[in-house]
A and B are shown apart, each in its own frame.
Chain A
Amino acid sequence: MPDAAAGKTLLEVSDLQAWYGDSHILHGVNMSVGKGELVTILGRNGAGKSTTLRSIIGLLSKKTGSMRIQGVESINSSPTVIARLGVAYCPEERGIYASLSVGENLTLPPKLRDGGLSTDEIFTMFPNIKDRLSSRGSNLSGGEQQMLAIARILRTGADILLLDEPTEGLAPVIVQQIEQAITALKQRGFTIVLVEQNHRFAQKVADRHYVMESGKIVDELTNDTIAQEWDRVTRYLSV
Chain B
Amino acid sequence: MEKQLIISVGREYGSGGHEIAEKLSKHYKIPLLDHNLLDEIAAEKNMDMEHWKELDEKHKNRLSSRTVRGYSSSPEENLYQMQFQYLKNRALSGDSFVIVGRCSETILKEFDSLVTIFVLGDIDKKVERIMRLYELSKNQAVKKIREKDWKRRRYHNSFCTGKWGASRNYDISINSSKLGVDGTVEMLIDYIDRRRIE
To the question of whether A and B form a pair in one complex, the answer is no
Show the binding face of A for B, using Cβ within 8 Å.
none
